[in-house]
Amino acid sequence: MRMTTNGKTGLGHGYYLEDLSVGMETTVSKTISDADVQTFAGLSGDINPVHLDDDFAAGTIFKKRIAHGFLTGSLFSTALGTKLPGPGSIYLSQALKFRAPVYIGDEVVATVRVTAIDPDKARVTLACDCSVNGKTVLEGDAVVMVDRRAPRQ
């Protein structure tokens, strides 16, 4: 993310509530690296050896190390906060269902799609899906608060 000298990002304001419609969607993708897993472990404190220790992971049902589920889920935050609805939106909730492991080296594609708009509360619900090679590995729903273009009278 680009930062300017005044501390603001190079991103402008995202969509306003009035600009959104059901069915709008966007994607972000990321190839999960060992450095990502190591950094996430350090930031989150989740040092479960299934993420960090090859020998330990070899003895699990996964047979090799897997990425943290919340590392994968963080791609939803990327999509919501930078693309749809984008900058200015406020993440209120997220439901998650972990469907399959993500391995180091996997390219994860996160898709968010607007499924409902509540104009009275200025809230938007989005279906969220992370996939690897077209297979869903993580899914759920997010609710975000979105700015109105003009204040309500």
Residue at 61 is within a domain? yes
pLDDT band for 1, please (50, 70, 90 cuts): very low
Residue type at position 140? G
Question: Does an H or E element contain 105, and which?
Answer: none
Half-sphere CA count of 102, side-chain side, radius 13 A: 29
Counting the structural domains of the chain, the total is 1
Give the structural domain span for 123. 21-145
Straight-line distance from the first to the last Cα atom of the chain, in angstroms, rounded to the nearest whole number: 36
Q: Which two tokens stand for residue 62?
A: 């996964």
Closest CA to 127 of 91, 100, 81, 95: 95
Assessment of whether the complete model's pTM goes beyond 0.75: yes
Residue at 7 is within a domain? no
Question: How does pLDDT run across 131-153, given as a tens digit for each residue?
Answer: 999 999 999 999 999 999 876 65
